[in-house]
């Protein structure tokens, strides 16, 4: 029996599934991971990249395996039933390839949420990993204790209800914030400058030394908005960032600006990062990956803002229109 952490959207979880992307390939029609990898390499310009292990772990889940899905301030646990299916309607959620899972639920049918604060420090830290799928067998004793407790004592309806309310409030907050940013209904300075200062502050909250670059640095298309570096006892990290304040879909221009930009530092590896308040087409995502550019779309940007709220200045929160007041949840 395997125990895996699997990131999956609630829209799939609530229906009794975990989901994975790759909408051009229906995993349920293939017999092996080798065949799926071959199909992905044929149907996607940039092939499978570094995702072979994730796809292998997902496809090879068997009946009786345990999956742990991270949620907002919580986890949910399920036992794999194993049936594979495909739902193209979930492609936008990167969850069209599905595996049936029997999730633990409350007496009224809601997904049971276990607060992260109740987990060991080691397991809670592992859940912060941004990988889509990872092995949790090292925590099997702790996870089995949680399962035994659920099965013997029943669901903790109060904890689950409160965590549901928190998750719903977080979703509403993030949706409203992204809408305000993309529509220009915040107090950030116009022309992209305000967004650049916001990203600079977010990078500094992550421990980077960040600097906004002068405009028109080059006579050609090459351009970056922010350079950042983080150096500690064990590692060095260098970023070159292009920031776009767009609505709906960002085009290829910002990516081409990063591609054309050449650093004068030949001794260190520099990571190029494209951040947009909008989204990217699948073809431009593939184009970015092919040119070793990481990208962050609007949804991911507001996730980042939310995670770093405690470290953002009061002034920046004001500019974003964010106020923090206690809320009473009705029973």
Instruction: Give the pLDDT confidence of 172-230 residue by residue, as tens digits.
Output: 999 999 999 999 999 999 888 999 999 999 999 999 999 999 876 666 888 999 999 99
CATH no. for residue 207?
3.40.1350.10
Q: Minimum mean pLDDT among 31-40, 196-205, 260-269, 305-314: which range?
A: 260-269
Q: How far apart are CA 37 and CA 108, in angstroms?
A: 41
- What pLDDT score does 259 carry? 93
Residue 168 placed within a domain: no
Same-domain pairing of 95 and 234: no
Same-domain pairing of 201 and 286: yes
Model confidence pTM above 0.85: no
Q: What is the arithmetic mean of pLDDT over 148-162?
A: 69
Cα-based distances in Å from 165 to 110, 160, 175, 300: 12, 9, 15, 21
Torsion angles phi and psi, residue 148, rounded to 5: -60, -40
Cα-based distances in Å from 23 to 84, 88, 116, 247: 14, 7, 32, 24
Same-domain pairing of 247 and 140: no
Residue 258 placed within a domain: yes
Contacts of residue 6, Cβ cutoff 8 Å, sequence gap at least 6: 18, 58, 67, 68, 69, 132, 133
Residue 220 placed within a domain: yes
* C-alpha dihedral (273, 275, 278, 280), degrees to nearest 10: 0
Handedness of CA 190, 191, 192, 196 (dihedral sign): negative
Same-domain pairing of 92 and 217: no
Contacts of residue 171, Cβ cutoff 8 Å, sequence gap at least 6: none
CATH no. for residue 125?
3.10.590
Single residue among 155, 184, 219 that ends a domain in this structure: 155
**Looking at the predicted structure, is the pLDDT value of residue 20 above 70?**
yes
Residue 54 placed within a domain: yes
Bridge partner list, 19: 98
Q: Which of 254, 93, 68 is nearest to 147 (CA)?
A: 68
Question: How many distinct helices (H) and strands (E) make up the chain?
Answer: 11, 14
Same-domain pairing of 226 and 98: no
Q: Is residue 55 very low, low, confident or very high in pLDDT (cuts 50, 70, 90)?
A: very high
Q: Which of 22, 128, 132 is nearest to 67 (CA)?
A: 132
Owning domain of residue 207: 193-320
Q: What is the arithmetic mean of pLDDT over 149-174?
A: 77
Q: Where are the beta strands (DSSP E) in 50-191?
A: 66-71, 74-86, 97-103, 114-115, 133-135
With 0-12 / 13-18 / 19 or more C-beta atoms within 10 angstroms meaning exposed / middle / buried, residue 316 is buried
Q: What is the arithmetic mean of pLDDT over 145-167?
A: 74
Domain count of the fold of the chain: 2
Same-domain pairing of 150 and 17: yes
**Looking at the predicted structure, is the pLDDT value of residue 159 above 80?**
no
Q: How far apart are CA 256 and CA 253, in angstroms?
A: 5
The neighbour count for residue 227, using CB atoms within 10 Å, is 20
Same-domain pairing of 199 and 303: yes
Same-domain pairing of 67 and 198: no
Same-domain pairing of 227 and 145: no
Same-domain pairing of 199 and 146: no
Residue 187 placed within a domain: no
Residue 218 placed within a domain: yes
Same-domain pairing of 49 and 107: yes
Contacts of residue 35, Cβ cutoff 8 Å, sequence gap at least 6: none
Single residue among 131, 155, 179 that ends a domain in this structure: 155
Residue 182 placed within a domain: no
Three-class SS state of 142: helix
Same-domain pairing of 288 and 242: yes
Pairing of strands 270-276, 236-244: parallel
Single residue among 106, 137, 155 that ends a domain in this structure: 155
Residue 185 placed within a domain: no
């Amino acid at each position: 029996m395997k125990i895996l952490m699997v990131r999956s959207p609630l829209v799939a979880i609530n229906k009794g599934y975990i989901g994975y992307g790759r909408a051009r390939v229906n995993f349920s029609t293939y017999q092996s991971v080798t065949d799926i990898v071959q199909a992905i390499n044929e149907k996607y310009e940039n092939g499978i990249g570094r995702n072979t292990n994730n796809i292998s772990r997902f496809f090879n889940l068997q009946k009786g395996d345990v999956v742990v899905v991270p949620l907002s301030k919580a986890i949910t646990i399920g036992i794999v039933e194993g049936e594979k299916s495909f739902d193209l309607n979930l492609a936008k959620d990167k969850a069209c390839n599905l595996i049936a899972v029997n999730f633990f639920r409350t007496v009224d049918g809601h997904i049971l949420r276990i607060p992260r604060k109740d987990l060991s420090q080691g397991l809670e830290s592992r859940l912060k990993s941004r990988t889509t799928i990872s092995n949790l067998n090292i925590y099997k004793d702790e996870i089995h204790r949680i399962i035994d407790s659920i099965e013997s004592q029943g669901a903790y309806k109060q904890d689950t209800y409160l965590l549901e309310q928190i998750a719903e409030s977080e979703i509403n907050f993030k949706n409203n914030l992204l809408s305000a940013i993309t529509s220009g209904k915040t107090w950030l300075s116009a022309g992209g400058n305000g967004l650049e200062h916001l990203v600079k502050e977010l990078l500094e909250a992550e421990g980077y030394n960040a600097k906004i670059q002068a405009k028109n640095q080059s006579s050609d298309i090459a351009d970056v908005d922010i350079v950042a570096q983080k150096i500690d006892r064990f590692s060095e990290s260098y970023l070159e960032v292009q920031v776009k304040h767009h609505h709906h879909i960002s085009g290829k221009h910002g990516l081409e600006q990063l591609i054309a930009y050449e650093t004068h530092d030949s001794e260190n590896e520099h990571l190029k990062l494209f951040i947009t308040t909008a989204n990217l087409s699948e073809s431009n995502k593939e184009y970015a990956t092919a040119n070793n550019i990481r990208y962050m779309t609007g949804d991911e940007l507001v996730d980042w803002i939310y995670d770093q709220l405690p470290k953002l200045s009061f002034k920046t929160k004001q500019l974003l229109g964010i106020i923090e007041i206690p809320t009473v949840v009705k029973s």
